[in-house]
Amino acid sequence: MAGTLNEILPDPISEADEQVLLDLLKRKMTVMADIAVELVRAMEREFGSKGREVVREMVDHQEFESRQDAGKPETDLRDFCAMVEKAAVGTHKWKKTEDQPHSVGYSFTRCMYAEIFRELEEPELGLIMCARDEPWAKSFNPKLAFRRTKALMNGDEICDNTYYVET
């Protein structure tokens, strides 16, 4: 299972030390997530259901600046997935389920964001994080696409993320 901090640290650390660091990271992430939750709830108190609608609109309209030096889609797919894996170290646990020239799939069994937003009873707010996957891939190369049918944030047992080259 991929996702340990030792994958990116210059010198290995023990499982116990890794757990200390991950607990600290989760506490810090929880503080920030709690602020976001309180902001949404304050918007709801002030503006009624329109406050939450603004959040839903964010999910539907997320964009990233397009990368100007997009290359061959198959090469960019590999580079993008390597970046995803590096970004997910520590906060996620996964195994690669598919590794084809035009498609890379993952089964994520842990997502710290899902844990936190579910603990805060705001998985809908956490879905903003999930909704970034597709536009992020497209911004890296417009020929890249994304598919997910299950999400930890929704209470599923996994996130089944697949990045692929559109034909």
In tens, the pLDDT along 33-88 reads: 999 999 999 999 999 999 888 888 887 787 888 888 989 999 999 999 999 999 99
- Distance (Å, rounded) from C-alpha 23 to C-alpha 26? 5
Share of the chain above pLDDT 70, in %: 99
Look at residue 47 and give its three-state secondary structure. Answer: helix
pLDDT tier, 1 (very low <50, low <70, confident <90, very high otherwise): low
Give the predicted TM-score (pTM) of the model: 0.88
pLDDT at position 62: 79
Handedness of CA 114, 118, 120, 124 (dihedral sign): positive
Using one digit for the tens of pLDDT, what is the confidence trace for 94-118?
999 999 999 999 999 999 999 999 9
Q: What's the half-sphere exposure (Cβ side, CA atoms, 13 Å) at 149?
A: 1
Q: Which residue has the higher pLDDT, 11 or 55?
A: 11
Q: How many domains does the chain have?
A: 1
Q: Quick one: average pLDDT of 5-33? A: 94
Q: Which domain holds residue 11?
A: 5-165
